[in-house]
Structure 1
């Protein structure tokens, strides 16, 4: 269960994605959540959850976190890897999280 600590919230975010726990994912996100990733922007919590549940190209993935970085402005960056269901690396990523009173407000994803 996430606490008020942003690092705990982002760990819960990835756990919810990997566990296909879309109710928990929904509870972590602000209603006006925005996910900006290469080639795609998803506006709104419901749209993001729908995409993750029904439309993402590979649902059988995991997101091991390698490091979490905090800045003085309330953002948090996560460096990690996207692995397929065999544990093979699909991509490396950095996600930059923004937070508000209603939960996670935004994620900007950078991949290589």
Structure 2
């Protein structure tokens, strides 16, 4: 995958999440998306992924700051910080995300690591 395209897709993801532009977010991901995050079972497929973002995501009113991005053949790794609200409480924490792409330029796997128990 083209490095410029994959980095643009990943940067767009954070912009869309922060703007709560969820239809734009979903368009970046493959139908068979698998999303793993701390303290939670994996989300498997677009239906679970959509439900999480529209109904269950504990983070809101926040901003992601990307501090570093490393681009591989089919994976983009990101290190950054999130500041916002989690369950009504102000939070700020570091995160690392890994986005794996398919041959069509869609994200097929996403894994998040944080210094929080759950996100």
Q: Cα distance 1:81–1:68, how it changes in 2: closer, same or farther (>3 A)?
A: same
Give ranges in structure 1 of 5+ residues lacking alignment.
none
What's the TM-score once normalised by structure 1's chain length?
0.85
Q: Cα distance 1:74–1:101, how it changes in 2: closer, same or farther (>3 A)?
A: closer
Indicate the structure whose relative CO is greater, using CA pairs within 8 Å and at least 6 residues apart: 2
For 2:91 and 2:80, locate their aligned partners in 1 and report how far apart those are by CA, in whole Å. 10
- Residue aligning to 2:111: 108
- Residue aligning to 1:48: 49
- Residue aligning to 1:39: 39
Determine if contact 1:26/1:49 at 8 Å carries over to the other structure.
yes
Identify, as 1 or 2, the structure richer in strand: 2
For 1:49 and 1:18, locate their aligned partners in 2 and report how far apart those are by CA, in whole Å. 16
What's the TM-score once normalised by structure 2's chain length?
0.80
What is the number of equivalent residue pairs in this alignment? 107
Q: CA RMSD in A?
A: 1.9
Give ranges in structure 2 of 5+ residues lacking alignment.
none
1:20-99 equivalences in 2 (<5 Å): 20-40=20-40, 41-71=42-72, 73-84=73-84, 90-99=92-101
Query: Which 4+ runs in 1 deviate beyond 6 A?
Result: none
